[in-house]
Amino acid sequence: MATPFWKYHALGNDYLVLDPERLEFALHPGVIQRLCHRHFGVGSDGILLGPLPAPGGELGLRIFNPDGSEAEKSGNGLRIFARYLWDEGKVGEQPFYVQTLGGRVQAQVQQSGRQVQVAMGRVSFQSRLIPVTGADREVLQEPIAVQGREFTFSAATIGNPHCVIVVPETTPDLAQTYGPDLETHPFFPQRTNVQFVQVLSPERLRLEIWERGAGYTLASGSSSSAAAAVVHRLGLCASEVTVEMPGGELAIQIAPDFAITMTGPVTAVAQGTLAPDVLAD
């Protein structure tokens, strides 16, 4: 086995990138779990598999969570994938398109790879698209109860599902305590990402995140996009906001139709070759 890997992080949210043409083993859930394990593998918050063939000759990407499940979209993952493509000379400084399970996005590498901008697509609050159980509706400011505590949530999709809860003050403990039960709540048939949001000002939000299939997360591009869209839809923030997370900050622009443009940094961490021992058992 001589499969190369690349590792990057985006605000502390780290991914391994694997090239499907150089992959010498089947990437099934057990293998994904091993590679992402912090003690028994390389360690990461997920795996990016690409570039893959896509319609129109565009670049395709599959995104896997550390529990082995597949994600439709990841903002940080897309920024990392764009930086990887730029590092490998597969794209230049002009915008290009990437196909994900959660839709087609446009990306552009800036500042010699240190910054990437992604047009994430349009946010919807419609229950049938997210999905959320019950009648077809915009899911805004509805009650949800876990562990004997009731919250008021809104839901959104930007190609993947999100449960957004605005709170007076957000803490890591909120996400870590209630995130697991909110992720798997019966309201969300495909599970959901969870964000606790504190509005610091009309131009700045603070976010704590429990990510579907990954757990407590230092930063998330899709979560930032969905949470900012919800808060804007509720009239609590401007159309251009900075989202502050434990791992750092992202700039989010919200168009009148709730199309989201996300801009943030990417850092290269390592490049190497997977040793045979890592998957021997």
Q: 233 in helix, strand or coil?
A: helix
The percent of the chain in helix, strand and coil, each rounded to the nearest 5, is: 20, 40, 35
122-261: CATH homologous superfamily?
Diaminopimelate Epimerase; Chain A, domain 1 (3.10.310.10)
Q: Is the pLDDT of residue 35 over 70?
A: yes
Q: What are the tens digits of pLDDT across the range 115-131?
A: 999 999 999 999 999 99
173, 175, 157, 180: which is closest to 165 by C-alpha? Answer: 175
Q: Looking at residue 281, what is its pLDDT?
A: 76
Q: What are the tens digits of pLDDT across the range 263-278?
A: 999 999 999 999 989 9
Domain with CATH 3.10.310.10 in the chain: 4-114+266-279, 122-261
Average pLDDT over residues 148-157: 98
16, 121, 101, 5: which is closest to 54 by C-alpha? Answer: 101
Q: What are the tens digits of pLDDT across the range 157-201?
A: 999 999 999 999 999 999 999 999 999 999 999 999 999 999 999
Q: What amino acid occupies position 113?
A: G
Q: Looking at residue 1, what is its pLDDT?
A: 60
Distance CA 20, CA 8 (A): 17
Distance CA 246, CA 224 (A): 12
Enter the pTM of the model: 0.93
Q: Is the pLDDT of residue 66 over 90?
A: yes
Distance CA 102, CA 153 (A): 22
Q: Which two tokens stand for residue 33?
A: 């779990």
User: What is the CATH T-level fold of the domain 4-114+266-279, as seen in this structure?
Assistant: Diaminopimelate Epimerase; Chain A, domain 1 (3.10.310)
